Structure 1
Amino acid sequence: MLTGATAVCVTLRLQGETIARAEGDGAESLEAVVTRALASADAKIPAANDALQQQARREMFKRVLAGVEVSGERLPLEAATFAQANSDVKHGLEAIWVEVGETREVIFPQRMMQSGDLPAAAIVSSIALLSGDPAIPMPGVAGQELGDLRRTKGVRVWRGPVVQMVELRAGGPGLLLMRSSRVVELREVNLPMLRQYREQLIDHIASRVARSPDGSQLFATYLPFQDRADSVASALQRAVLCATLVRSGDRGSKLARELLGDVIKFDATSLNEPTTAAACVVTMAWLGSDATLADESWKAALEKTRVVIGKSHDGENWAETVLPGSRAMVALAMAELATTFAVDATREVDLSRARSGVRSLLMQATPGALVTHMPWLGYATQRLAGEGEIASAPALREMRAMLWERTIRAESGQADLEGGIVFGTRDARDASGIAGPTWSTARPVAFAAAMLRDERLTDADELYPQLSKLLPSMRFLRQLSIDDASAFACPQPKRAMWGVRVSPWDQRQPIESSAMALLAVSEAVTSIEEMGRRAAKHQLETSDQPKSSPTK
């Protein structure tokens, strides 16, 4: 018997696949639950017909890994609606008990994480199963909501905290997890770790590229616990990814050239869409004008995008074809066309249009709204300022200060969320109703990292205080990546490794999340390296100064 436990779940896995699961209440010993799980696994693995098969079967069992979840005190879930359950249950941290009449079921966090079910969906499925009638629970339907079923069908639901531990290797020590992941410690985040993480992110992105004679394809979203890709990335997604790859260095730039080259060659019509055209221009500019103009097909694509982007803003207003969420990327492309790819005959007009587009976004945005335009609007302000002063520096500094105010701190009680940024109000929730930070933290943090090495945006005496505020967000992004510990339940660990999840409770890996995390980490590495060079230069200059003679 486990003291204080109200339920226990033992899961056995072989190469990421669940082969057995057994559950027990607090009155049952852990050994008894493990024994039942082993018996279930033994029944599922094919019987041996000879000595050779028996040996193979024994070797197979040696590779089985165990995971244990133990729940503590349970509390009634009083949610009136199924949707409210998503808010009330700490997804990934709490188990859910569902009772219908005399039947009951316990749903542990790992099961929900692996299936992709939110608490509400898990409760709906459980009520349907226990009642034998899938039409009884109907979210959003009067009389069939959770509160209604509590009164009319005797449905009762509880929730309770769970401690989770897994084996990463057979016979090895158990590792304590939080939301099915190891908690990355802030002390682990340093320059060597960030350099390595940058390369690991590129590894993951490269693994999602499928090459063929008709051009490369990129998986848009990967579901690591199901080993399934649910769609192919659009030209826009690929073009934005290319821009982030270029900022990561030579290796990323090589992959960006390949991917963008395929967009230009095999998906040229996509360049008629302003945001896709803009992302292509930005990638070309960051790769370098010489590389772009040396290739005739790229040169032709550049001129095509110049026309498309020229119609996006008339110097006063944005075209209806450019959605508000895309305007920052288009503004950055306008800035690059007016500078990196400037045409003498239209240089002043192009600069005026680009400045007008950037100014319109800055003037309409509060510090909170400014975040939604990052990092692209931040880059645009730097590009247009050249070596001069950045007029919007006070607004950008204010935005950065607001970011750090909204950063979740270690003392929050949820260590895996440290460094994540909550946008909007403190209890802001995502589309599913769950409160907490997501991969969108990477968007503004990418520019906050770039601000470190711009003396117009960060004074010398601010460098290390600002770096100390940035590092927790780097920790959070690393937390979102699947690593050796969180890959324990993935059928194809190598395919899932280092991909960035939507959030600690949402295991999906959109290509955007890995792309923006790569951009943020790359900017942090570049800025920290620049800080090191400045410090070394200052030390050298100081040591070269003649020492004053002592007075007599």
Structure 2
Amino acid sequence: MAPICNLSRTILKLSTILLTTALVITPALADLCTVQDAHVLFAASREWLDQQSLKTPFDAAAPDFSKGVALSPTFSTTAAGVVLRSNGRPVGQAWVKQNANSSMCLATALLKALQQASNDRVLGALPASLRANATQELALEIELVGDTRPFTGDRIDTLAARIDNAREAMAIRAGDQWAFSLPSLQQSQNQTRLPWYTMVVMAREVGVDAGADKKFQLPEGVVIYHAETRRMAQIAAKSPVFEVSRGMLTVPLSDITTHALEDMSIAIAAHLESRIRNPEGLSQEAINTLNALGPAGEYQPTLGMFTQQMCSPLEQGMSAFAMAKFSELHFLQKNKIAAREFAIFTLNSLQHVVGDEENPLDHPAAAAACVLACQSLDHSDATWANPETADWQKKLWATVSEHFQLQNYADVQTWALCAAAMAQDSPNEVSKALNTVWQIRPVEKLLSASPWLLLAEQRVGKASDHEKAKEAWNLLQIVILQHQLTQKFNPDLAADLVGGWPITANGVTGATADSSRPALALALAMNPELFGIPNANGVTMESLKLALRFLKQLQVDQAACYAFRDPFKSLGGIRVAPWDSSQPLGTNATTLLAILEARALFALDSESKQN
């Protein structure tokens, strides 16, 4: 599937995030095989795979699961999928529909996937002795599909929006022709961003061109189905099997502790540091160009490559701010030094615009993020900037100040970032302007800007009595808490979405890394130094913990790396959504800011309990 630019993926976008009231519902499991049966079939599949050989010509026979495989009497599956991986790289994948009076579909899918692996060029280049036993080194993932349930409706785009993306299989039937799309196969290529496009492709597989007139209309008699699935995977061929949902383990709320937040912060910081490209072996001219480009943009773990070699100055500036903030806090000295070096490197790179890069001086929000980063670095060492950088900072300040003075409240998010950047040096002026902005109604207009408004309010300190901010925040907090996804109000909610906030993008409704912004707002507002709100055991603290649980869900851990080609580059990074493993720079920056603010809050809470 051709990559399509998804504007909503950039969490630092300047447009308003709409916290939709749509509920993300996962239907109760319908005739889905048990976890025990899935374990049994995985073990049998693994045993068969280990006994095969990739010799030429390929002459393997499908396994016979009717012998020696003890399944429950109620076992059934509608279809099955298999993905074989070599060091995280898919080398064979297949799906097969179960047909009456035929062998189990999983057996056929295994054979098809192995046959595909036998044609893999890398495996084919192995010496004969290694190639013969290569199957014993292939990691295995299987997916078993439950009963298919038909959708009512005949428009592909509206039906696609009802899919629980990357948790449910999709199927289409035209007469006796079927096509399936299984989450395991889709996620192996990170092709889950556009379910409607997947449906168009599936329709073509059964002879229906539903997208030709761009009306996405299905002919009469063509039916779209959805189904629950059970996925079992392993990190490596000799590793134990575990169940995954959307390619991840589900994070329990009990995991959210002060220590966990510290680990999350360190891991995100290390991930950001890996974005600085290795200049070894390059000419000085090439090194200068790389340094000017700054940290690499979006990383795609399933492909093992950066799909965005450069990113917006706003994302870079915000990553510098997050890392500069990290370097100020109580972490190991080596971690603080590394974060500080990243921030300085990124700010230096932003001073030199090359190729198609955009100049931060042309973008007030980016300039504001850079000012915030510079100020954080100044707190620990005001001599870090050379004369060239000091002159650049004056230009940044001029850009920020000019936009602040315009009072363009139509783009309140950019204005709020500028206010936060100016608050330290012009607290009285910023405080007065904030009092005006906090009175904007309906209060939902302030939603996407709320983290930066609260940051500005925090930074003006005693120059404000914070009363207008507190009034507006009390209303904003109601909106934020009402829209948060929880199983208390929606028992059928998928466990991995708990704590996030739903948005709709490209026809997909679900929680994404954009949830880092309301999480940051909650953490800022709960700091007793701002509004004097106690931070222990309240409804707001519970909401923040749920939000942090969701953000931890998005953080790539060792288990999630089973499907990734280079674990080192993806580990610790934040994926853009549960169904999308892409790791944008900006996503990681705002998530790090939210985690750092929450970590400070949790530390205060621990101190208050000890006292």
Normalized against structure 2, the TM-score is what? 0.76
Shift of the 506–45 alpha-carbon distance from structure 1 to 2, 3 Å rule, reads closer
Q: Aligned partners of 1:49, 1:475: CA distance in 2, in Å? A: 43
Q: Structure 2: which amino acid aligns with 1:404?
A: L
Structure 1 segment 317-396 matched on structure 2, within 5 A: 317-318=406-407, 323-339=411-427, 351-352=428-429, 354-386=430-462, 389-391=465-467, 392-396=469-473
Q: Which residue of 2 is the match for residue 263 of structure 1? A: 350
**Greater shift after overlay, 27-36 or 234-243?**
27-36
**8 Å CA contact 2:295, 2:316 repeated in 1:** yes
* Shift of residue 139, structure 1, vs aligned partner: 6.5
Shift of the 525–59 alpha-carbon distance from structure 1 to 2, 3 Å rule, reads farther
Given candidates 127, 139, 146, the residue that maps to 2:217 is 146
Shift of the 452–47 alpha-carbon distance from structure 1 to 2, 3 Å rule, reads closer
Q: How many equivalent residue pairs?
A: 506
Q: Which residue of 1 is the match for residue 255 of structure 2? A: 188
Q: Aligned partners of 1:472, 1:243: CA distance in 2, in Å? A: 25
Q: Which residue of 2 is the match for residue 120 of structure 1? A: 196
Query: What secondary structure does 2:382 align onto?
Result: helix
Shift of the 86–97 alpha-carbon distance from structure 1 to 2, 3 Å rule, reads closer
**8 Å CA contact 1:48, 1:54 repeated in 2:** no
**8 Å CA contact 1:128, 1:137 repeated in 2:** yes
Q: Aligned partners of 2:124, 2:316: CA distance in 1, in Å? A: 52
Q: Aligned partners of 1:432, 1:42: CA distance in 2, in Å? A: 33
Q: Aligned partners of 1:103, 1:412: CA distance in 2, in Å? A: 32
Structure 1 segment 126-525 matched on structure 2, within 5 A: 126-131=202-207, 136-138=209-211, 141-142=214-215, 145-147=216-218, 149=219, 151=220, 154-210=221-277, 212-214=287-289, 215-216=291-292, 217-231=294-308, 232-249=310-327, 250=336, 251-265=338-352, 269-288=359-378, 291=382, 295-314=386-405, 317-318=406-407, 323-339=411-427, 351-352=428-429, 354-386=430-462, 389-391=465-467, 392-410=469-487, 411-422=491-502, 429-460=503-534, 462=536, 466-525=540-599
**Larger fraction in helix:** 1
Q: Which residue of 2 is the match for residue 103 of structure 1? A: 177
**8 Å CA contact 2:298, 2:307 repeated in 1:** yes
**8 Å CA contact 2:535, 2:541 repeated in 1:** no
Q: Aligned partners of 1:246, 1:325: CA distance in 2, in Å? A: 21
Q: Structure 1: which amino acid aligns with 2:210?
A: P
Q: Aligned partners of 2:169, 2:177: CA distance in 1, in Å? A: 17
**8 Å CA contact 1:222, 1:229 repeated in 2:** yes
Q: Structure 1: which amino acid aligns with 2:398?
A: V
Shift of the 88–191 alpha-carbon distance from structure 1 to 2, 3 Å rule, reads same
**Greater shift after overlay, 208-217 or 120-129?**
208-217
* Shift of residue 387, structure 1, vs aligned partner: 7.3
Query: What secondary structure does 1:256 align onto?
Result: helix
Query: What secondary structure does 2:511 align onto?
Result: coil
Q: Aligned partners of 2:245, 2:507: CA distance in 1, in Å? A: 20
Shift of the 36–334 alpha-carbon distance from structure 1 to 2, 3 Å rule, reads same
Query: What secondary structure does 1:479 align onto?
Result: helix
Q: Aligned partners of 1:269, 1:197: CA distance in 2, in Å? A: 31
Query: What secondary structure does 2:556 align onto?
Result: coil
Q: Which residue of 2 is the match for residue 19 of structure 1? A: 91
* Shift of residue 394, structure 1, vs aligned partner: 3.1
1:194-219 deviation digits (Å, cap 9, x = unpaired): 11111111111111222632425222
Identity in percent: 20
Of the two structures, which has the highest relative contact order with CA contacts closer than 8 Å and spacing of 6 or more? 2
Q: Structure 2: which amino acid aligns with 1:338?
A: S
**8 Å CA contact 2:250, 2:496 repeated in 1:** yes
**8 Å CA contact 2:535, 2:601 repeated in 1:** no
Q: Which residue of 2 is the match for residue 343 of structure 1? A: none
**8 Å CA contact 1:393, 1:456 repeated in 2:** no
* Shift of residue 418, structure 1, vs aligned partner: 1.0
Q: Structure 1: which amino acid aligns with 2:240?
A: P
* Shift of residue 72, structure 1, vs aligned partner: 0.8
Q: Aligned partners of 1:47, 1:236: CA distance in 2, in Å? A: 40
Gaps of 5+ in 1: 340-350, 423-428, 539-552
Shift of the 264–24 alpha-carbon distance from structure 1 to 2, 3 Å rule, reads closer
Q: Aligned partners of 1:192, 1:261: CA distance in 2, in Å? A: 33
Q: Which residue of 1 is the match for residue 29 of structure 2? A: none
Query: What secondary structure does 2:527 align onto?
Result: coil
Q: Structure 1: which amino acid aligns with 2:374?
A: M
* Shift of residue 377, structure 1, vs aligned partner: 0.9
Shift of the 336–271 alpha-carbon distance from structure 1 to 2, 3 Å rule, reads farther
Q: Structure 2: which amino acid aligns with 1:452?
A: M
* Shift of residue 69, structure 1, vs aligned partner: 0.8
Q: Does 1:83 align with 2:157?
A: yes
Q: Aligned partners of 2:535, 2:394: CA distance in 1, in Å? A: 44
Query: What secondary structure does 1:218 align onto?
Result: coil
Mark the structure with the bigger radius of gyration. Answer: 1
Query: What secondary structure does 1:160 align onto?
Result: strand
Q: Which residue of 1 is the match for residue 20 of structure 2? A: none
Query: What secondary structure does 1:435 align onto?
Result: strand
Shift of the 180–173 alpha-carbon distance from structure 1 to 2, 3 Å rule, reads same
Given candidates 100, 108, 112, the residue that maps to 1:33 is 108
Query: What secondary structure does 2:227 align onto?
Result: strand
Q: Aligned partners of 1:111, 1:44: CA distance in 2, in Å? A: 18
Q: Which residue of 1 is the match for residue 52 of structure 2? A: none
Query: What secondary structure does 1:337 align onto?
Result: coil
1:38-87 deviation digits (Å, cap 9, x = unpaired): 6415632579999x934322453222111111111111123332211221
Alpha-carbon RMSD across the aligned residues, in angstroms, is 2.9
Q: Aligned partners of 1:174, 1:165: CA distance in 2, in Å? A: 6
